[in-house]
Amino acid sequence: MNANRRNFIKTGGLVLSGMLAGANLASGFIPMEAHITDSEDIYTLPSLGYAYNALEPHIDAQTMEIHHTKHHQSYITKLNAAMSKEPSLKAKSLEQLLSSIQSLPESVRNDVRNHGGGHWNHSFFWTIIGPLKKKPSENLSAAIVNDFGSMEAFKEQFLKKSMGIFGSGWCWLIVDAKGKLSISTSPNQDNPIMDIAEINGKPILGIDVWEHAYYLNYQNRRADYLKAFWNIVNWQKVSEEYES
């Protein structure tokens, strides 16, 4: 996991306090401490990096704003609430928590799975979509052709898998342990970095197939949303994820 991703996933947490407060230099006693405050909310809403209307007409501004400020924020609020029950977990990165769901204390296990998953998935999603019109890198293009036959064949399989999700979930393009690309789906806010996932791998592309991601504009026409998705994929970012 690279540092950039960690930085936007986990903001804050370490709070320096008591810096030189009441220092008595004459006595040579300088109280200085760094500690993790238990009351601090460690997860905060990352900015999108583009305007809510930047993806129109493919995703409308109202959907983006509600999705970001209400849905995503709600996962963060509930994740912070869970963390306050188990302050010792605050020292771990979100990726560490998600990759060890099975061994988390029962008091927070479901909340970390659902709301920690929700926070990670949305933070990731905002970065791999955007108004930037770019193509996949040569390396990624070659891997897609190698593992799926062609870009068109990949998109067709991705559409088919996304359409097949019953209820709410996500569809992912992942790199598996052998470096091979594959498509997987996960229910609710699960994802392929979780130890409980059916298929593990490093996600490099993903689409939110919850109705809240598209219903205002597309209503029940999920396929139209899924096809429009290709117009807003930030292939530069996906390529960076593939190559990192």
Shortest distance, CB of residue 88 to Mn ion, whole angstroms? 29
- Rank residues 126 and 148 by Cβ distance to Mn ion and give the closer one: 126
Shortest distance, CB of residue 67 to Mn ion, whole angstroms? 6
Query: Using an 8 Å Cβ cutoff, are 21 and 52 in contact?
Result: no
Which H or E run includes 187?
strand 181-187
Q: In this chain, which residue has its C-beta nearest to Mn ion?
A: 208
Shortest distance, CB of residue 96 to Mn ion, whole angstroms? 23
- Rank residues 74 and 244 by Cβ distance to Mn ion and give the closer one: 74
Shortest distance, CB of residue 239 to Mn ion, whole angstroms? 24
- Rank residues 189 and 234 by Cβ distance to Mn ion and give the closer one: 189
- Rank residues 66 and 132 by Cβ distance to Mn ion and give the closer one: 66
Q: How far apart are CA 230 and CA 228, in angstroms?
A: 5
Shortest distance, CB of residue 210 to Mn ion, whole angstroms? 5
Q: How far apart are CA 135 and CA 128, in angstroms?
A: 12
Copy the structure tokens of residue 243: 């190559």
Q: Which residues bind Mn ion (CB under 5 A)?
A: 208, 210
What are φ and ψ of residue 195, in 5° steps?
-65, -20
Helices (H), the chain: 3-9, 61-66, 73-85, 94-98, 106-111, 117-128, 138-148, 151-163, 215-218, 222-228, 235-243
- Rank residues 75 and 158 by Cβ distance to Mn ion and give the closer one: 75
Shortest distance, CB of residue 107 to Mn ion, whole angstroms? 25
Q: How far apart are CA 240 and CA 173, in angstroms?
A: 14
- For residue 172, what are the β-bridge partners? 184, 206
- Rank residues 63 and 239 by Cβ distance to Mn ion and give the closer one: 63
